[in-house]
Amino acid sequence: MESRVRIIKLVEIKELDEQSYITYISTWKDRKEPLCPSSCDMAALNFSEWQKRELSLQNEATLPHGFVRAETLFLVEDNGYILGAVNLRYAMTEDLLRYGGHISFGIRPEEREKGYGFIIVKLALNRLRMNGILKALVTVKRSNKAAKNTIKKIGGTLENAYEENGQVIDRYWIAL
């Protein structure tokens, strides 16, 4: 039996197939889990409106007031199957320094514990580095052991933690 090599890569939002994306977000909704990163939530928008909104965040000239330049990327197999998503922020506000940081990521629920979190974060860190970020902040709920393990495996150093709404939030820095 011949085995096929799976090719995965980060793709930009404008490269996404609408049906693959709708199937991807439905897996989160079926499990009644919030989409992570939250930038993947289309809310009341249709697919093209959502893409347009997200693309506007990539350009300083089209940023809404109070937002920083950001982009959402997707870890996708060569057949279009979406494994996960990552939101990158290229500047910090006081709020992002407290919770959010430079990176938010999520792996499709049925694809967790297969190493994709490590892959998506490593690729995201490369992209941040190419955009002049030399030290990346990642915040994570202490209860999210998989994300914490990924961040530690990549070399994240715990700076501090705080409690908010009954959740402990850990703040990690990763040198790029």
Domains of the chain: 8-133 (3.40.630.30)
From CA 168, how far away is CA 162, in angstroms rounded?
A: 6
CA torsion sign for 173, 176, 87, 156 is negative
> Residue 169 burial (CB < 10 Å; 0-12/13-18/19+)?
middle
From CA 84, how far away is CA 7, in angstroms rounded?
A: 14
Q: What is the pLDDT along the chain (176 residues), one digit of tens a residue?
A: 566 678 999 999 999 999 999 999 999 999 998 889 988 898 889 999 999 999 999 999 999 888 999 999 999 999 999 999 999 999 999 999 999 999 999 999 999 999 999 999 999 999 999 999 999 999 999 999 999 999 999 999 999 999 999 999 999 999 99
Supply the pTM of this predicted model. 0.93
Quickly tell me which residue has 């690729």 as its tokens: 123
